[in-house]
C-alpha cells in the first residue's frame, strides 16, 4: 500500500487546488474523494508508490469502477481527477510521466437536459404576490432566466455585483472565472423591487444579494425549495429545477439568435462542444450552418 509520504502528496495537491488555483471547497472535496477511492484501489492491488503506477493500472482501476456499477460519467470525473493529480506530480518532479493521460472512460450516453417552453416559463414568472419573500423569489427566477446563471453563481452573488444602471451582472463561474452578463428589463425591475422590499422589511449586514428572512445568505437548497413551491403554485405540469431555467435561457436565446458563440460566452462554457450538447442543436440547424458557410458545401451538393 502507499506510504504515509505518498499520501502526503495528496494533501499537498489539495492545498495547491485551494490556495493557488482557488477552486471552491465543493470542487476540492470532490478531488479528495476521487483520490481516496484510487488509494483504496492501490491498497487492494498492493501498489506501493506513485511512480510505480502505469497506464495499465489506471485502465484496471477504470474497469473495476465500471464493473461495480459506477456510471461512465462518474468514471470520467474520477479519471479527470487522476489526470490532474498526476500532472501535478510530474510538475513537482515526483514522477516522470502521467499514467492517466491517455486512459479514457467508457462512453457516456448523452442525455439532453429538459427545458420549459416559452409559455410555461411565462407562467412560472407570473408571480402576482408582493412582499419580502415573493419579491425576492420573483427576482431570483427572473435573473436566472434572464442571464442563464448556474445555481452556485446565483447563490454567491453580492449586491455590488449588480449594476442596475448598466443592466449587467458580474458572475464568478467555474474555476473562479468572472464574466459580465447583460440583465433583461424584467429582471432589473424585479431586482429593484426586491432591494426596496429588503431594505424596508429587514436590517442585514450581509453582502449577499439574496437573503433569508433571518438576514443570512440564501442557500442553494432553499432556492430549489422555492422553485418547487412556485412551479406547483403556478400549476406547471413538470418538475422544475434550477438548471432547467439555465437550459431554457440557452434554448430560447439560441432559437432566436442562432448565435452559438454568443450563447457559449453567456453561459461561460470553455468549449463550444458543451454548448452544442446543452442547447440540443439538431442536425437540420447544423446542416444549414454548413450549407451557408462551408466553401465546398454548394459544389458538393450540386455534384
Q: What is the DSSP string of 221-277?
A: HHHHHHHHHHHHHTT-SS---HHHHHHHHHHHHHHHH--HHHHHHHHT-SSHHHHHH
Q: Which of 174, 192, 217, 280 is catalytic?
A: 174
136 is catalytic: no
Residue 206 per-residue DSSP state: -
Name the helix (H) or strand (E) containing 163: strand 162-163
Q: Where are the alpha helices (DSSP H) in the chain?
A: 4-19, 25-44, 55-67, 72-91, 118-125, 132-147, 151-155, 185-201, 220-233, 242-257, 260-267, 272-278, 283-293, 297-302
Q: Which of 150, 179, 217, 280 is catalytic?
A: 150
Which residue reads 492545498 in cell numbers?
15
CA dihedral for 6, 11, 14, 20, sign (positive or negative): negative
Q: Which of 59, 77, 179, 243 is catalytic?
A: 243
294 is catalytic: no
Question: If we measure between CA atoms, which residue out of 44, 239, 224 comes closest to residue 140?
Answer: 224
150 is catalytic: yes
Q: What distance in Å separates the CA atoms of residue 225 and residue 30, rounded to the nearest whole number?
A: 24
Q: What distance in Å separates the CA atoms of residue 196 and residue 185, rounded to the nearest whole number?
A: 17
Is 180 in a helix, a strand, or coil? Answer: strand
243 is catalytic: yes
278 is catalytic: yes
269 is catalytic: yes
- Residue 178, beta-bridge partner list: 172
Q: Which of 136, 138, 246, 252 is catalytic?
A: 246
Catalytic residues: 150, 174, 243, 246, 269, 278
Amino acid at each position: 500500500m502507499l506510504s504515509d509520504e505518498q499520501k502526503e502528496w495528496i494533501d499537498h495537491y489539495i492545498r495547491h487546488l485551494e490556495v493557488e488555483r482557488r477552486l471552491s471547497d465543493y470542487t476540492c472535496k470532490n478531488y479528495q474523494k476521487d483520490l481516496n477511492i484510487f488509494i483504496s484501489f492501490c491498497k487492494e492491488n498492493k501498489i506501493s508508490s506513485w511512480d510505480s503506477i502505469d497506464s495499465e493500472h489506471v485502465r484496471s482501476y477504470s474497469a473495476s469502477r465500471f464493473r461495480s456499477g459506477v456510471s461512465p460519467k462518474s468514471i470520467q470525473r474520477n479519471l479527470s481527477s487522476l489526470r490532474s493529480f498526476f500532472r501535478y506530480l510530474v510538475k513537482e518532479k515526483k514522477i516522470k510521466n502521467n499514467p492517466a493521460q491517455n486512459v479514457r472512460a467508457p462512453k457516456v450516453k448523452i442525455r439532453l437536459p429538459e427545458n420549459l417552453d416559452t409559455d410555461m416559463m411565462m407562467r412560472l414568472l407570473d408571480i402576482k404576490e408582493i412582499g419580502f419573500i415573493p419579491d425576492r423569489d420573483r427576482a431570483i427566477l427572473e435573473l436566472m432566466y434572464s442571464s442563464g446563471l448556474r445555481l452556485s453563481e446565483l447563490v454567491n452573488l453580492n449586491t455590488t455585483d449588480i449594476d442596475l444602471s448598466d443592466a449587467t451582472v458580474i458572475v464568478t463561474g467555474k474555476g473562479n472565472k468572472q464574466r459580465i452578463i447583460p440583465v433583461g428589463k424584467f429582471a432589473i425591475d424585479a431586482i429593484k423591487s426586491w432591494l426596496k422590499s429588503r431594505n424596508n422589511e429587514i436590517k442585514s449586514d450581509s453582502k449577499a444579494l439574496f437573503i433569508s428572512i433571518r438576514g443570512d445568505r440564501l442557500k442553494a437548497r432553499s432556492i430549489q425549495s422555492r422553485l418547487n413551491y412556485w412551479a406547483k403554485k403556478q400549476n406547471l405540469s413538470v418538475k422544475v429545477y434550477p438548471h432547467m431555467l439555465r437550459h431554457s435561457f440557452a434554448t430560447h436565446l439560441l432559437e432566436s439568435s442562432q448565435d452559438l458563440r454568443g450563447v457559449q460566452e453567456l453561459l461561460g462554457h470553455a468549449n463550444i462542444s458543451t454548448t452544442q450538447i446543452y442547447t440540443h442543436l439538431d442536425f437540420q440547424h447544423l446542416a444549414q450552418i454548413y450549407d451557408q458557410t462551408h466553401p465546398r458545401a454548394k459544389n458538393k451538393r450540386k455534384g
